[in-house]
Structure 1
């Protein structure tokens, strides 16, 4: 059942400005609450342990490696499949239960719960400061009084909780080479992309007055297959995307021109995804929250993808991961975790394939771990999952793979396959100047 919380609010057109928490509540961070606002203690029956600061990397780990599994000696506690689904359904997202019901070979390996999420000390300190100053503005489409850390570690409503996910720490900058897979009719087609991200909100030394309504900069260049090689994209992402529209430009090697995209937000289709992924499903949810009403339903103990090191390891062939209907269940790990449940309902006057979304946010990191997707008739039509690990060298807790399953036709989309590539470089030297239309054109030459 849902845990009672102090306030249950729904976003509306005249969003009220809520007072930040007082000093006594903020003082709980790092005490009975973790520095990011989770319950430090375990649950009553001991199936969820206390948070003790994250995870210690294996002795064999060196920066630059694919991250070895610190829990490789764990044995599964039990298996969930179609045969015992009724026994476990109350702890599963509806979309995950639907996958188990549809595909008899799909199953969950449930392991001991390991609360491995951690962030740099400066993020903890910024989070505590934000707790007493952050507030929603512009009908919840922006925030003020926050920088670097989680803005609302003690959320009072659904929109605050979703902002915590959007702004949770993902590093200062990243260079990554990985693949995405479009799986249609059981056949996977792969696209390899060379990607760079420059984060503004979370940067070291960032203060509230320095943000200038900027969240991040992003670009990629397709390097395979040959027919798409050279196709490039650059995005400039504001925080308040109603006040300032997201800007995106795309370079096509066919006509050797850089063109401004009219829209790359909300329900517009992501380029190179064969129509399987909308713009706002990247990182489980991104962009302006203004088209939905957001309700915070409290916390639940749920079986979630977690500590997904097995599917992250170097050298695994992609076809061994991406099976015709689902990811390979023998490479996935599920654990029991407390998650915040946030339900988003499409507001009157707007259209989107997903008229309702139910998000499950990890209490320890604010990473969205799963999303149930419903159409305008209330029918369950999709499931998103994020399979996270701890990136020791940063440190941060973030997804290594993201999936979006279409439950009507059985097709699905995967992003983040990096098993055959060098590990991400979190120390790459970047600046905002690397993310302009001019830079896109230079990189194409």
Structure 2
């Protein structure tokens, strides 16, 4: 089935299901497509009509490149040059494959914002046991609590053959990111002239199956545990956030705590959700902007628009190079686009509209989600007046040595103020992601939170 026909089919099915309870598990016959005409995670295996998106042939091997002593990965495509670069002057030729938010960035920064477009490589693949779990999810996973929770789910990606927008969003929320990670990353919120200060974080994140003492009965509703400590600047250092993320946040809401180093006390933090302010972000992002989107989907109605071919950030190894300094990347208005890489990929388009009576600073969000990884690639955010306000982009890489797709850096551009947030840089840090990180439940208790923040 070609992309256009497939998109129409998906859109029609999404509309049929929009008014009633969301269907979830598919038949064995439909699930049998996984690994055949569909990839093991549910993407179309075939190339697109003109071959500009190639067929998926298994992704990169684990030895696709060298890994240095800090854990940084070599670019598997070091000799490639852009096929072309989209600028404000050449925009008309390519606009059919761009999102409204991307078009708005060209309009906001016509002299500096560009998109270097490279050959498309479908690099992602997942471990065999994760693929097997996804295959079982296809026939077992179901939405509960009006779509705000899951049953019959294991490991990652509950709906590899989705029928609704909400199922696509759940795939993003639960996509595979390994079993646990420790990382040192930075965040910047530059002024309009490009001046900035670094905020350094130490993150620890452990998914349920990565806990050394996971209890499948008592913790059946657990998705992951997350702890984030501010390392610098001095005025913020020692502050720590702790989050227990649940699969069904209606049945059991997200639990969050903060340790305030100045007050030396731990307190519950219900504001770390929805449109509560993001950590040390100077008001430039909400809590649910982290990872482009996170948390309970209960405040929005979700509509599946179908699939599109869009130029999205991809294989961003160059942007992650330890040879770069932060000054090389952080510029006025936006990051240094010369260091970015865009490729043409198929994405799922999902529109989130704020429910009547629900509260959020974003009245609508347009999601464009990569079919090969279920990672949100770009998200457009609209304010209460319906005006396009913020544009998020996720610049990913495939950590081929670990078979884990994840972000290199995420950006959130404010079209009105001219400021932006960039989170995830680690170019000058002592180590890259440590996916061998192990933890148990006691490492994610309020007591551990207090101990982490002592300075």
TM-score after normalising by structure 1? 0.95
Asked if 1:39 corresponds to 2:17, the answer is no
Cα distance between partner residues in 1 of 2:60 and 2:217: 34
Q: Of the candidates 188, 195, 198, which is equivalent to residue 190 of structure 1?
A: 198
Equivalent position of 1:328 in the other structure:
336
Cα distance between partner residues in 1 of 2:172 and 2:360: 21
Distance 1:330 1:17, change over 3 A: closer
Q: Describe the SS at the equivalent of 1:284.
A: coil
Shift of 1:203: 7.4
Which whole-Å deviations, capped at 9, do the CAs of 1:387-406 have from their partners, x for residues lacking one? 00011222111111001000
Q: Of the candidates 103, 126, 134, which is equivalent to residue 133 of structure 2?
A: 126
Segment of structure 1 superposing worse, 201-210 or 95-104 = 201-210
Shift of 1:100: 1.2
Equivalent position of 1:243 in the other structure:
251
Cα distance between partner residues in 1 of 2:152 and 2:206: 22
Distance 1:133 1:89, change over 3 A: same
Q: Describe the SS at the equivalent of 1:8.
A: helix
Which whole-Å deviations, capped at 9, do the CAs of 1:403-438 have from their partners, x for residues lacking one? 100000111011101011211111112112111110
Shift of 1:5: 2.3
4+ long deviations beyond 4 Å? 201-211
Give unmatched runs, 5+ long, in structure 1.
none
Cα distance between partner residues in 1 of 2:247 and 2:407: 21
Equivalent position of 2:85 in the other structure:
79
Q: Describe the SS at the equivalent of 2:60.
A: coil
Cα distance between partner residues in 2 of 1:157 and 1:325: 36
Q: Of the candidates 388, 409, 429, which is equivalent to residue 438 of structure 2?
A: 429
Contact kept? 2:211, 2:441, Cα under 8 Å: no
Q: How does 1:328-367 map to 2 (within 5 A)?
A: 328-367=336-375
Contact kept? 2:24, 2:162, Cα under 8 Å: no
Contact kept? 1:387, 1:401, Cα under 8 Å: yes
Which whole-Å deviations, capped at 9, do the CAs of 1:115-159 have from their partners, x for residues lacking one? 001111111111111101111100000011111131000000000
Distance 1:166 1:266, change over 3 A: same
Shift of 1:229: 1.2
Contact kept? 1:194, 1:222, Cα under 8 Å: yes
Q: How does 1:395-434 map to 2 (within 5 A)?
A: 395-421=403-429, 422-434=431-443
Contact kept? 2:242, 2:258, Cα under 8 Å: yes
Q: How does 1:85-100 map to 2 (within 5 A)?
A: 85-100=91-106
Q: How does 1:216-295 map to 2 (within 5 A)?
A: 216-295=224-303
Q: Describe the SS at the equivalent of 2:288.
A: helix
Contact kept? 1:172, 1:204, Cα under 8 Å: no
Cα distance between partner residues in 2 of 1:414 and 1:248: 23
Which whole-Å deviations, capped at 9, do the CAs of 1:183-229 have from their partners, x for residues lacking one? 23332221001110011167799998675211111111111111111
Cα distance between partner residues in 1 of 2:68 and 2:212: 23
Query: Paired residues, what number?
Result: 444
Give unmatched runs, 5+ long, in structure 2.
none
Q: Describe the SS at the equivalent of 2:305.
A: strand
Q: Of the candidates 310, 316, 326, which is equivalent to residue 308 of structure 1?
A: 316
Which whole-Å deviations, capped at 9, do the CAs of 1:94-125 have from their partners, x for residues lacking one? 11111112211110100000000111111111
Segment of structure 1 superposing worse, 363-372 or 193-202 = 193-202
Q: How does 1:376-391 map to 2 (within 5 A)?
A: 376-391=384-399
Cα distance between partner residues in 2 of 1:174 and 1:108: 31
Q: How does 1:156-235 map to 2 (within 5 A)?
A: 156-186=163-193, 187-200=195-208, 211-235=219-243
Cα distance between partner residues in 1 of 2:208 and 2:315: 27
Cα distance between partner residues in 2 of 1:23 and 1:203: 31
Distance 1:396 1:17, change over 3 A: same
Cα distance between partner residues in 1 of 2:143 and 2:15: 13
Q: Describe the SS at the equivalent of 1:366.
A: coil
Q: Describe the SS at the equivalent of 2:67.
A: coil
Q: Of the candidates 14, 21, 41, which is equivalent to residue 16 of structure 1?
A: 21
Equivalent position of 1:29 in the other structure:
34
